[in-house]
Amino acid sequence: MISVGIIGGSGYTGKKLIRFCAAHPFIEEYKIYGNNSAGGKICDIFPELNEVIENSVIESIENVSYEHDAYFIALPHGEALNYVPALFERGKKIIDLGGDYRLNSPELYSKWYGKKHNSPLLLKEKIYGLADYSGTDYSEKNFVANPGCYPTAVLLSLLPVVKSFKDKILSVSVAAYSGTSGAGKTPKLELLMSEMDGDVSAYKLNSHQHQPEILQQLNEAGFDSPFSFAAHLLPAAVGIYATSFIHLKSSVEEKELKNAFEEFYKDSPFIRLREAPPHLNWVTGTNFCDINFSMKDKIIIITSAIDNLIKGAGGQAMQNMNKLFGWDEKSGILNQGVKNVQIY
């Protein structure tokens, strides 16, 4: 049994982590650390957690205890740099949900996050934790950079094709859509219901920090062709929907494509290959990623849907913790023994 610290547990992704920690068979206790909310009770911020975590006081992120065995860090960009080096040095297991350690190069980090990295050597020590990709070795590792929400939906769509057909790919472009909770709980004028309702727009074209993250992981898998990514804001609170277009130099058989996806995800309990394009409603509130692919002539279109706060953040983070400790990756997330039933 272990003890867990959730640094930034009073935010949106923290709320999901609390539920998974409460349901986990091997987590004995967990403490929540917050910034402005420190000193208050978690149930006053999230009354819906009343039955899950009664009377728990939020500790200050200025006094994080080193007593815990493992830590989730769910802070705004730049803030994890204040915690990871000291925790890593003490041999703690760490899962960072933010973007501070996802890119491998400190120069790229400065370019896309506008800040100098204070612990560039740790960029090499981390695992990029795309938890449903079975090719990552978690043994002997302590530190996971949890992927961003867009990269999770996009990489889970693209990697099976890149792995099997990289030499045939001419180009890849992605249009992806996010609900407003992707921006966290800090109020912003443009995210008000009265601004968003009935509206859709693209944003951060060619300047979204998830673009180099996706490309880095595609390159690592052998992809070496033009790539474009356009993020859009949806008038919904939760969800990521990604549509990817892969243009090929020469066609592949439909059966080969199906085999590529089925083989890639044969041991992945949270991936559901669908016969039709998924809907966001099929995955919100769950840790599933639903994927559909379709091919005509030399173009493959892949659609994928996830809950940004769960598969794109807290659920995948819990999967990563399970993998770091060598536990069943479904622990705390799915009702054990009951197929496809989420803990809550």
Ligand X SMILES: NC(=O)c1ccc[n+]([C@@H]2O[C@H](COP(=O)([O-])OP(=O)(O)OC[C@H]3O[C@@H](n4cnc5c(N)ncnc54)[C@H](OP(=O)(O)O)[C@@H]3O)[C@@H](O)[C@H]2O)c1
Degrees, nearest 5: CA angle 321-323-325: 70
Give the amino acid at 118. N
Residue whose CB is nearest to ligand X in the complex, by number: 11
Give me the 127-166 binding string for ligand X, x by CB under 6 A, dash otherwise.
Answer: ---------------------xx-----------------
Degrees, nearest 5: CA angle 105-106-112: 90
Find the binding residues for ligand X in span 203-262 (CB under 6 A): none
Q: Judge whether 21 counts as a catalytic residue.
A: no
Of residues 337, 339, 280, the one with CA closest to residue 311: 280
Residue found under tokens 């992704």:
13
Burial status of residue 36 (CB atoms within 10 A of its CB: 0-12, 13-18, 19 or more): exposed
Query: Closest separation between CB of residue 104 and ligand X, Å?
Result: 18
Q: Quick one: which of 25, 28, 29, 36 contacts ligand X (CB under 6 A)? A: 36
Find the binding residues for ligand X in span 257-316 (CB under 6 A): 308-309, 312-313
Contacts 24+ apart (CB under 8 A), 339-343: 340/288, 342/285, 342/286, 342/287, 343/19, 343/20, 343/23
Query: Closest separation between CB of residue 289 and ligand X, Å?
Result: 14
13 binds ligand X (CB under 6 A): yes
Q: Quick one: which of 18, 19, 23, 37 contacts ligand X (CB under 6 A)? A: 37
Cβ atoms < 10 Å from Cβ of 24 = 21
74 binds ligand X (CB under 6 A): yes
From 70-78, 103-111, 125-133, 220-228, span contacting ligand X (CB under 6 A): 70-78
Q: Which residues are designated catalytic? A: 149
Interface residues with ligand X (CB under 6 A)? 8, 10-14, 34-37, 61, 74-77, 79, 97-98, 148-149, 181-182, 184-186, 308-309, 312-313
